Structure 1
Amino acid sequence: MMVDPNYAKALILGAMLYAGPALAEAESNEDPGSVIVVTGERERTVASAGTKSSLPLAETPQSISVIDARDIAGLGLQNLNQSLRFVAGVTPEQRGSSAEVYDQFKLRGFDAMQYLDGLRIYDSPSGYASTQIDVSRLDRVEIVKGPASALYGQSGPGGLVALSSKLPLASDSYGAASGTYGTYDLYRVDADVGGRLSPSIAWRVYGSANGAHTQQRFGKRERQTISGAVTVGQGGSTTLTLLANYSHDPYNGTYSVFPASGTFIANPNGKLSTKFDGGEPDNRFRREQGAITYIFNHDFGSGWAFRASGRYQSVKSRLGIAYTSGSLDSSDPTSATFSRASYSTRERMKAWTYDNQLMGKVETGPITHNLLFGVDRQVLHSTEDYAFGSFSSLDGYNPVYGSQVVPQTPQDVPDAFGGYLAYHVRQQGIYVQDQMSWGGLRVMLSGRQDWARVEPVGSDAEHSKKFTWRAGALYRTALGIAPYVTYSTSFQPQSGLVLNNDGSQGQAKPSLGKQIEAGVKYQPVGTQILLTAAYFDIRQTNLLTSVPNTNYSIQTGKVRSRGVEVEASAPLGHGFQAKLAFSRQKVRDSDGAGILGVGRGGVSANLEWAPEQGPLEGFAVGGAVRHVDHVYAGTYFDGITYNTPGYTLFDALVRYDLGKTIPRLEGVTLAVNATNIFDKKYLTTCYLDYGWCWYGNRRTVQGTIGYRW
C-alpha cells in the first residue's frame, strides 16, 4: 500500500536531504560536514571521458558535463535518470514514474550508451536484460556530448554517459553509513567503509539496500547491492585494482504505460489518476546482475604509462506483466474500458569488454604532444525466450482486478506469439589520439578503425567496418576565455530485425553520425567558476526505432539535431553556490517530423546557501527549478501530430551538521529533501502513435540521517 506525502513523518524519522549512498569525505578541500559522502580527490572542473586522459574541461574542445557523488547526495537523487535532470541537452525521465527499472533519457535527441570505468555497459540487443547501476556505486558521472566513436567505437551521435565506480582511496581508514525514509515508503540503508591493509594495499566495501512502493497502485521496487574493491601497489608505479559487484532486484517497480485517452487526450469520463495501474497485483519484473572488473596501471616514467582494463558482466531478467495496450476497448470515444495485453520473457546476457592503452608525452619544438594508442574488444552473448499475448480489458475509472492470472513464463501467455532469440555480438577497434599544446592553443586529433559483427543465431551475420575521427581546436586566453570548434563522427552497430517497406525482414544496418560543434568556455584563472556555451549540428542516418509489441524495428532515413546549450557552475561567495543549465534544440527526421520522446530543451537552476562561519555554520538550505519544454508525441488516431506540454517543477532541501553545535555528535548530519514541492501533475512523454503516455513523479519528501567516521 502506498503512503501519501507526509512531511511530519519524514521529520520524525530524523533525516534531511539525500536518499543516496552514504560515504565519508576523504582528503577533500570542501567542508567535511557539508555532505555525508566519501569521494575521490578529482576536481569537478577536470574530466577524463572525453579524451581518456585527465584534462581540464576549460581546455577540452568538446561539451562535457560532470556530476559527482556530492551532487547526487546533495540533491537526494535515486538513480542516474534523476541525476541527468540538471544537464543541458538531456530530455530526462522518458517514462516518468512508470519505468525506474531503466535509466531512459535522450541526449541531444538520441539514445546514449553508458560506460563504466571506461568499459561499455552492455544491454540486451533485443529484450529487457539491461543493467542499471545503483547510485550508491558511483563516484562520478561524465556526460560526453556529441559523437565519441573516435575513442570508444560504440557510440551514438548524441554522445555517451561515462560512469566511475568508487575505488579504494589513499586513506588509512574511512567510512560512513546512512538511513533514509520517504514518500511511498521509500527506504535506503547505505554503508561505505575502506582503508589500508598495508602501505601498498587498500580496500573498500560498500553497498545499499533500498526500495519503495511506486506512484502506481501495484508498483514496488527493491534492490540489494554490494561491491568490493582492492588495490595492490597503491602509491607505486604499478597498481592492480580488482572490483566486484552483485545486485539483486526482486522487484523492479512498475514497467507500464498509461493510455493516451484520459491522460493527454480528453476522455468524457475525466482524467485518469496518477495512481492508476493498468496491470495486475501479480505483475513481476526481476533482475540479477553481477560483474568483475580489473584495472591495471603501470608508469614507465618520462611521461609514458600503460593502462589495461577488462570486465565480465552478467545479467538475468524475468518478466511477466499485463499492461494497457493504449487503445479503448471499443470504437466509442466515451468508453472507460481499455484493452490490455500480456508479455513474459526469460533472458540472459553475458558480455566481456577489454581496453588497453599506451600513453606518452613527446615534444617537437614548441609543441607538446600527449599521445594515446589503444586497442579494445567487446563480446556479447544473449538469449531471450519471449511471448506477447492477450489479456482481459479493464475499466480505467472503476478498475476491478484479478479477472485473469498474469503469465509468469512465456509458455503461460494466452494467445501467444513469440519465440526464441539469441545474439552473438563482437567488436574490436584500434585508436590513436594526439593532444597538441602550444601556448594557449590546444589541438586534438583522434582516429579509430572498427570491425563489428552482429550475428542472430539462425540468421546471417551482419559484418561492418568503419573509420571514425575527431578534430578539434581550442585557444585559451590569459583571461580564461577559450573559444573552440570540433568535428566528430560516430559509428554504432545495431542489433535487431528490421521490417522493410516491402514487408521483408533483414538485419539492422549500422547507424552513422557526424557533428560540428562550436562554442566558448570561461574559467577565471585560480577559480572553480566554469561557464560554457555551445552550438551543435548533428546528422544521423539509419536511425533504429522499435515497433511496440514486436521484436522488429524500422530504420528511418536521416535525422538532424541542431541546438544551443549553456551551463554554469559558480561559487558566489558568502556560502552561496549556483548552477545553471539551459538548452534549446530542434530534432527532425528527413520528413520534417520530430522524434518520439525528444524535447525542445529546457532550463534548470540550483542555488544553495551554506554559511562557512558564524552561528549558522553547518546549516545549508537550497532549492532548484526544473523546466522541460514540450516533447514530441507523434500522431494520434485523428492524424494530427502533437507535443506533450512543457512543465516546471520546484525542489527544496535543508541540511544540518550536528557536530558544529554539539561536538560529541561530530560526523552526524541530518537532511530533508523534497522534489516537485507543489505536487504538479504532468506528462513526461507520449507515444501517441501507439496510444501510450507516462505521468511524471508527484511530490516526494525524504529524510536521511548519516554518520561519518
Structure 2
Amino acid sequence: MRYFALTLASASLMAVAISAHAAETPAANVDTADTIVVTAARADVTADAGTKSALPIAETPQSISVISARDIADLGLANLNQSLRYVAGVTPETRGAGAEIYDQFTLRGFTVPVYLDGLKQFGSATGYAVPQVDLSRIETIEVVKGPASALYGQSSPGGLVAMSSKLPLDQAMYGSVAATYGSYDLYRVDADVGGKLSDTVALRVYGSVNGAHTEQTFGSRARQTISAALTWKFAPDTSLTVLGAYSHDPKNGNYSAAPGYGTLFANPNGPISTKYADGEPDDFFRRNQAAGTYILNHDFGSGWKFRASGRYQFVGSDLGAIYEFGVPMPETNDTVFGRGSYATHEQLKNWTFDNQLTGKATTGPVTHALLFGVDYQTAHSLEVAAFGSANTITPYAPVYGTQPVPQSPYTTPGATPGTYDYHLHQTGIYAQDAMSWGGLRLVVSGRHDWAETNDGTNTQHDRKFTGRAGLLYKTDFGLAPYVSYATSFEPQIARLEDGSLAKPSLGKQVEVGAKYQPPGTPILISAAWYHIVQTGVLTSNPATFASTQSGKYRSEGFEIEANAPLPYGFNLRAAYSHQHVRDIADADTRAVGGGLIGAGDGNLAVNVDWTAKQGPLKSLNVGAGVRRVDRVYAGVFDQTLTTTDYRQYYSPSYTVIDALLHYDMANMDQRLKGVTLALNVTNLFDKKYLTSCYLYPAYDAWCWYGNRRTVQGTIAFHW
C-alpha cells in the first residue's frame, strides 16, 4: 500500500500540472508533429485488441498500452522485446543480450501469447520453432493487460501482445528507405514502398536486411525478410487484403548464458566477462518463416460490418549448440564448468481463422456496440531433438574448437533422439456488448471454447466458458474510473504422473483503475490496481520429477502510465509498476512463497524529449530516458552445492540511461526535404547488469547479461 499511495500521489500531482498546461494551451495549438508520442496519447486513438472493436482507449475499462511505428523508429528499437521497455508491468528482455532466438518477456508476471493482425502466433509446443516478426512489418503494437480469453480463447492471465501489419494506404505514391549502422557491426536497411495501382487496387511492399555481432565471443545474427500487402476494393462496400511474408534467419545469436557462479553468485576468480560465450564457434540456429494472410471486410450499412481473416504459417528451424550448466565441477576452485550438447530439427504449421460480425443497436437511452464471432485454430509441431554430452570449459580462459557441434539430433554425442509430435485444435464462439449511456460504459464479453490436445499417443478434450465484464464512467472533465473482472484458460502441453495429459490452467483477475484525458487534448494518464490468481499450473515433483497440476500463482500490483506534451516543446512518456508475483501452492514446497522465474517486482521507464520549434535548430529533437527493472525472481537453489541449503534467489535490480537525437535536414536545405538523421544510444554509461537468471535445484544456474552500450546512427529518406 505504501507504493500505491506514493505512486497515486505522484500521479495526481502530474495530472494537475499537465491539466493546467492543457488549459493554458488550446488543443488546436498543441504541436506534436515532431515529438515522440505514443499513439495511445492522441485524443481520437482507438485500441482494437482490447475489445476487437474501435473503442477509444480512454473509454475502455482495461489497461492497454500502444506502441506505434513512429515510436519504433524514433527510439531505434530492433525487436519486440525492446519495444516493451516503456510499458508498465513488463519485465523485458529476460534473456538479455545472449539469447535472441525469440522474444522473451513477462507481463504482470506471466508469459503471454503474441497475436498478429488479430490471429495467434503459434510457437512449437516443446522446442525452438517459434515465429519472430521483424519490426519492419509492424504498424502498431498493443499490449492488452489481464485475461483476454473472453475474446481470444486460450490466453495467459497476464494478457497478450497484439501486433498489426502495415497495410496499403489510400495514397497515390509513398515510400521510405532507411540505413542504420552501429555498435557490434550492427547494420540494418529497411525499405517501404506503396501506392494505388488503380482506383480499386493498392499495393505495399516492405522488407529489411539486418544483423549484428553479439556481445558474446563469435556470436552473430542475420535476417532477410520481405512482405507484401495488396488491397482490392472490388465493391464500394467490400474489400479484400492479402498479405504474404517470408523471413530467412541464417543465424540468430548463440543462445548463450553465463554461469551463476561469477555473475549472480560470487566466484573467487572474480566476475565473468560479458563477452564470455559458453558454446562453440560452430553453434548454429537457422530459421525460415513464411505466412499468407487474408482480411475480408464488408459493410452491410446501418452500422453493421463483417470481417473475416485467416492465416497459414510455417516455421522451420535447425539448431545445434554446446551449452554449460552454470555449476562448477567439484574440486576445481570454481574455474571449470560442465557442458552438454543438443540439436533439434523442427517444423511448425498452423492455420488460424477469425470471423466477426459487428453492429450497433439502441434500446431506449442505451447504445449497444455488438460483436459476434467464431474462430478456429489448429497447430502441428514436430520436433526431433537430442541432448547429449560435451567437454568442460573454463569461463576465465575459454578454449574453443575442442568440441564438435552436433549437426543434427542423430549426431549428438551420447544421446538417442526423441520425437515430439503435438497437435492442437480449438474452436470458439464469442459475443460482446459494449453499452453506452451518457458517460457510462459497460462492456460484457463471453466465450465458449472446445479445445483438443494430442501428443501423438493421448488426446485431451476440454470445454471452457470464459467471460469479462467492465464498467467505466467518463466525466465531463476527462476522468474515467473503472472496474473489471475477467477470466482465462490456457491449455498445457505435458503428461502428468498418472500418464494423462494436463488440463488447462485457469485464471481470474479483478482490476480497478482510472484514466484521465482532458477533453480535446492528446494527454492520457492511466492507473490501475489488479489482483490475478492462476490455478491448475504445472509443477514438478522434486522427488520423481513428474509433472503435477498442484501449482497456484498470485500476481498483485499497481501500474501507471502517462503520455503527454509539456510546455516549451517538451514531451513526456512515463510508466511505473510495482507488483508482487508469488507461488502460493506447489508440489515443490521449496518454491512456495517465491516468485515466477523471469518475473520482476516492477519497472520504471521515463523518457523526456525536446523539439526546437523555431530558429536555426528548428526540428532538432533531443531526448533522454531512464529505465529501471526491479529484481527478477531466479528460482530455488543451494549455493553451497551441498543440497541442504536451498533458498530463493533474485537477480538484482538495474537502471540504465538512454539518449536520442533526431534532425530533419529540410531545415538546413529544402533540397534535402524528406531526409532525416538520427542517433540513438542505449545504456549510455555502459552499465554491466543481469536481466535475469534461471536456477534449477542442484543442477543448473544460468544468468543473462543485459545489452552493453549500443550506439547506432540512421539516415532515412521519406517521400
What does 1:428-439 correspond to in 2, within 5 Å?
A: 428-439=427-438
* In structure 2, C-alpha distance between the alignment counterparts of 1:41 and 1:337, rounded to whole Å: 53
What does 1:264-413 correspond to in 2, within 5 Å?
A: 264-332=264-332, 334-413=333-412
Q: Secondary structure at the match of 2:49?
A: coil
Kindly indicate whether residue 687 of structure 2 is the aligned counterpart of residue 677 of structure 1. no
Closer, same or farther: CA 622–553 of 1 in aligned 2, 3 Å: farther
Shift of 1:494: 1.7
Retained in 1: the 8 A contact 2:42–2:522? no
Deviations 1:567-619 (A, max 9, x none): 00001133211011000000111232211111000100000111233322121
What does 1:179-194 correspond to in 2, within 5 Å?
A: 179-194=179-194
What does residue 488 of structure 1 align with? 486
- Residue 650 of structure 1 aligns with an amino acid whose one-letter code is I
Retained in 1: the 8 A contact 2:40–2:65? no
Closer, same or farther: CA 319–545 of 1 in aligned 2, 3 Å: farther
Q: Secondary structure at the match of 1:345?
A: strand
Closer, same or farther: CA 121–351 of 1 in aligned 2, 3 Å: same
* In structure 1, C-alpha distance between the alignment counterparts of 2:608 and 2:539, rounded to whole Å: 39
Deviations 1:457-478 (A, max 9, x none): 1x11011010000011000000
Q: Secondary structure at the match of 1:125?
A: coil
Shift of 1:135: 0.7
Closer, same or farther: CA 625–553 of 1 in aligned 2, 3 Å: farther
* In structure 2, C-alpha distance between the alignment counterparts of 1:208 and 1:546, rounded to whole Å: 42
- Residue 294 of structure 1 aligns with an amino acid whose one-letter code is Y
Retained in 2: the 8 A contact 1:86–1:581? yes
What does residue 20 of structure 1 align with? none
What does 1:299-698 correspond to in 2, within 5 Å?
A: 299-332=299-332, 334-457=333-456, 459-498=457-496, 500=497, 505-544=499-538, 555-590=549-584, 591-638=592-639, 639-689=646-696, 690-698=700-708
Shift of 1:545: 6.1
What does residue 18 of structure 2 align with? none
Deviations 1:239-281 (A, max 9, x none): 1000000000000112121110111111111111000000000
* In structure 2, C-alpha distance between the alignment counterparts of 1:413 and 1:30, rounded to whole Å: 61
Shift of 1:218: 1.7
* In structure 2, C-alpha distance between the alignment counterparts of 1:589 and 1:619, rounded to whole Å: 49
Closer, same or farther: CA 223–414 of 1 in aligned 2, 3 Å: same
Q: Secondary structure at the match of 1:688?
A: strand
What does 1:61-140 correspond to in 2, within 5 Å?
A: 61-140=61-140
* In structure 1, C-alpha distance between the alignment counterparts of 2:664 and 2:540, rounded to whole Å: 49
Q: Secondary structure at the match of 1:50?
A: helix
Kindly indicate whether residue 234 of structure 2 is the aligned counterpart of residue 224 of structure 1. no
What does residue 21 of structure 1 align with? none
Retained in 2: the 8 A contact 1:325–1:691? yes
Q: Secondary structure at the match of 2:482?
A: strand
- Residue 558 of structure 1 aligns with an amino acid whose one-letter code is K
* In structure 2, C-alpha distance between the alignment counterparts of 1:487 and 1:368, rounded to whole Å: 22
What does residue 10 of structure 2 align with? none
Shift of 1:60: 0.1
- Residue 559 of structure 2 aligns with an amino acid whose one-letter code is E
* In structure 1, C-alpha distance between the alignment counterparts of 2:598 and 2:548, rounded to whole Å: 16
Closer, same or farther: CA 82–310 of 1 in aligned 2, 3 Å: same
- Residue 166 of structure 2 aligns with an amino acid whose one-letter code is K
Q: Secondary structure at the match of 1:372?
A: strand
Superposition RMSD in Å: 2.1
- Residue 703 of structure 1 aligns with an amino acid whose one-letter code is G
Shift of 1:154: 1.7
* In structure 1, C-alpha distance between the alignment counterparts of 2:546 and 2:519, rounded to whole Å: 53
Shift of 1:41: 13
Deviations 1:400-447 (A, max 9, x none): 111121001001101114411111110000000000000000001000
Q: Secondary structure at the match of 2:451?
A: strand
Retained in 2: the 8 A contact 1:129–1:347? yes
Closer, same or farther: CA 575–489 of 1 in aligned 2, 3 Å: same
Range that drifts further, 79-88 or 536-545:
536-545
- Residue 588 of structure 1 aligns with an amino acid whose one-letter code is R
* In structure 1, C-alpha distance between the alignment counterparts of 2:154 and 2:668, rounded to whole Å: 52
* In structure 2, C-alpha distance between the alignment counterparts of 1:346 and 1:706, rounded to whole Å: 39
Kindly indicate whether residue 46 of structure 2 is the aligned counterpart of residue 52 of structure 1. no
* In structure 2, C-alpha distance between the alignment counterparts of 1:36 and 1:247, rounded to whole Å: 30
Q: Secondary structure at the match of 1:67?
A: strand
Closer, same or farther: CA 603–33 of 1 in aligned 2, 3 Å: closer
Deviations 1:274-328 (A, max 9, x none): 0000000000000000100000000000010000000000000000000112221
Q: Secondary structure at the match of 1:225?
A: strand
* In structure 1, C-alpha distance between the alignment counterparts of 2:377 and 2:225, rounded to whole Å: 25
* In structure 2, C-alpha distance between the alignment counterparts of 1:480 and 1:33, rounded to whole Å: 25
* TM-score scaled by length of structure 2: 0.91
* In structure 2, C-alpha distance between the alignment counterparts of 1:44 and 1:491, rounded to whole Å: 33
Closer, same or farther: CA 393–75 of 1 in aligned 2, 3 Å: same
* TM-score scaled by length of structure 1: 0.92
Identity %: 59
Shift of 1:87: 0.4
Retained in 2: the 8 A contact 1:36–1:706? no
- Residue 578 of structure 2 aligns with an amino acid whose one-letter code is R
Shift of 1:150: 0.2
- Residue 478 of structure 2 aligns with an amino acid whose one-letter code is G
Retained in 2: the 8 A contact 1:371–1:435? yes
Range that drifts further, 417-426 or 432-441:
417-426
Retained in 2: the 8 A contact 1:496–1:552? no
Shift of 1:381: 1.1
Unmatched tracts of structure 2, length 5 or more: 1-29, 585-591, 640-645
Shift of 1:542: 2.2
* In structure 2, C-alpha distance between the alignment counterparts of 1:234 and 1:574, rounded to whole Å: 48
* In structure 2, C-alpha distance between the alignment counterparts of 1:194 and 1:547, rounded to whole Å: 56
Q: Secondary structure at the match of 1:269?
A: coil
Unmatched tracts of structure 1, length 5 or more: 1-28
Kindly indicate whether residue 168 of structure 2 is the aligned counterpart of residue 173 of structure 1. no
Shift of 1:687: 1.3
Closer, same or farther: CA 256–407 of 1 in aligned 2, 3 Å: same
What does residue 5 of structure 1 align with? none
What does 1:127-276 correspond to in 2, within 5 Å?
A: 127-233=127-233, 236-276=236-276
